[in-house]
Amino acid sequence: MVTAVRRAGERGATVRPTGASARVPGALVRTSDLLLDCSALTGVVAVSADRVLVRAGERLAALFAELAASGRSLAVVPDAPGLTVGGAVGMGVYGGAPGEGSLSAQVVAARLVDGRGVVRRVSGPELDAVRCGLGALGVLTAVELRTVELERMQVHEQAGRLDAVLAEDVLRAHGWTELDVAVPSGQVIARWADPVDPDRVPVPAAPGTVTTRAAVRAEAWGRAVSRLASNPPWASWPPPARWTPGTEGRPYEVLPDPQPWDPDTAEWAIPAEALGSALRELGAAATARGMELQRPVRVRLGAAETGLLHPAQGRDTAWLRIRTRASQEPLRRLAGAVLEDASGRPSWTSRHEWGPDELAVAYPGWAEFQRVRDEYDPDRRFTDPNLERILGP
Ligand SMILES: Cc1cc2nc3c(=O)[nH]c(=O)nc-3n(C[C@H](O)[C@H](O)[C@H](O)COP(=O)(O)OP(=O)(O)OC[C@H]3O[C@@H](n4cnc5c(N)ncnc54)[C@H](O)[C@@H]3O)c2cc1C
């Protein structure tokens, strides 16, 4: 990596570090210059009591499996096990643990090659720039992550109404949670998971306590029947069941939702307390313009983060994943406008129109991030036209 960055410097080329996206570059790793594929930089270097030192190209699936062998895990389990550690930290990938930050929040130290080809070990305040650093500060070669005890989780899902689910604070009541919300009808599939007591004597679930697929479908269709009759797109409701009732397993085996990532997904991070009003506003705005969200909005919570450019920086956050179609660009933009009004910040994963002006207002640590960028990459080795549009020159 050092040689690659130095040679790029000699040639005056720019560099974009990439992990799992190496073969299908996402927006932040699209360049006509040098794409530095870090995915071969694999391997766990050391596992200690509550830390793991891992090379940045390691896939999350491999990392989880290695940690499990030592009875450890990560507090955050993202959906895609194929992501690399460097890409997940570089973008601040979140999971569904309401009391935890993203994967970048689990980083306690990092090693990176800066824009002049110098290796830096980062563990002080500048680590907050490196978390969710978007590949703009250097090439991560290894990171040290906090680990947690590996526990088996039991997963559940149940149909309900948004108002009731929010009133009962279901999203915060469990170790892992997510909602699929039909907007604007307010129907919800709530999913949650909690650690299984290892000393528990297993008992068969009483009838009715475990939600069956049929029950979910009956409840949801019962409430939506008049709408469904006139509106075939909601044939996708309820969303397919994720698990058979009573499923339990290791977090990384049962929690990820292995759906392909749709490039037309609009994903926003809003203050957690604004969730109910933002969803209602989104439904009202879409209805008023005759638009229709044809797939449920996926909602998860995450804790406030210190990463300077992490969308959950400084506030407990609700993540809203709005899956639109390519033909629904106006709806994607409308959703963006509504969620921006709710103090939302766009996820780095999804398309957005934000640039330095918006970022400087939305992120209190913007100036500090730019200071670290100037120090780590004074020649702007790690940029490309797209990143320049977002972060500025
Ligand atoms: C199927 C699927 C499911 C997903 N589920 C989730 C989810 O549950 N939660 C969520 O938050 N996101 C999710 N995402 C989006 C995810 O955040 C990004 O796709 C992910 O960060 C990309 O990881 P990657 O290894 O492909 O990195 P890349 O796409 O290659 O890179 C991501 C960013 O990190 C930088 N980077 C990569 N490697 C390095 C390195 N070694 N050093 C420095 N910078 C580096 C890149 O320059 C870029 O800015 C999902 C994506 C997919 C495809």
Give the residue numbers spanning the domain of 79: 2-150+355-391
What is the C-alpha R_g of the chain?
21
Residue 329 lies in a domain: no
Summarize pLDDT for 130-142 with one digit per residue, the tens: 999 999 999 999 9
Q: Is the shortest distance between the CB of 94 and ligand 1 below 6 Å?
A: yes
For residue 253, what are its two tokens?
A: 């085996």
111: domain CATH number is 3.30.465.10
Reported confidence tier of residue 155, pLDDT bands at 50, 70, 90: very high
Q: Is the shortest distance between the CB of 105 and ligand 1 below 6 Å?
A: no
Q: How far is the CA of 86 from the centre of ligand 1 (A)?
A: 8
Q: How far is the CA of 16 from the centre of ligand 1 (A)?
A: 13
Is the predicted pLDDT of residue 224 greater than 80, yes or no? no
Residue 117 lies in a domain: yes
Res 351: pLDDT? 83
Q: Is the shortest distance between the CB of 93 and ligand 1 below 6 Å?
A: yes
Q: Is the shortest distance between the CB of 181 and ligand 1 below 6 Å?
A: no
HSE value, Cβ hemisphere, 13 Å, CA-based, for 338: 26
Q: How far is the CA of 225 from the centre of ligand 1 (A)?
A: 39
Residue 279 lies in a domain: no
Res 188: pLDDT? 96
Res 236: pLDDT? 66
Residue 198 lies in a domain: no
Res 265: pLDDT? 85
pTM: 0.90
Task: Return the closest-CA partner of residue 217 out of 228, 209, 232, 204.
Answer: 228
Residue 131 lies in a domain: yes
Residue 125 lies in a domain: yes
HSE value, Cβ hemisphere, 13 Å, CA-based, for 341: 13
Residue 218 lies in a domain: no
Residue 241 lies in a domain: no
Q: Are 122 and 328 in contact (CB under 8 A)?
A: no
Q: How far is the CA of 102 from the centre of ligand 1 (A)?
A: 12
Q: Is the shortest distance between the CB of 21 and ligand 1 below 6 Å?
A: yes
| Number of domains forming the structure of the chain | 1
Res 223: pLDDT? 41
Summarize pLDDT for 225-252 with one digit per residue, the tens: 333 333 434 446 788 888 988 899 999 9
For residue 81, what are its two tokens?
A: 């096990």
For residue 314, what are its two tokens?
A: 């400084």
Residues of the chain with pLDDT > 90, as a percent, come to: 75
Res 171: pLDDT? 96
Q: Which residue has the higher pLDDT, 280 or 33?
A: 280
The whole-number average pLDDT for the span 160-171 is 95
DSSP state, 156? E
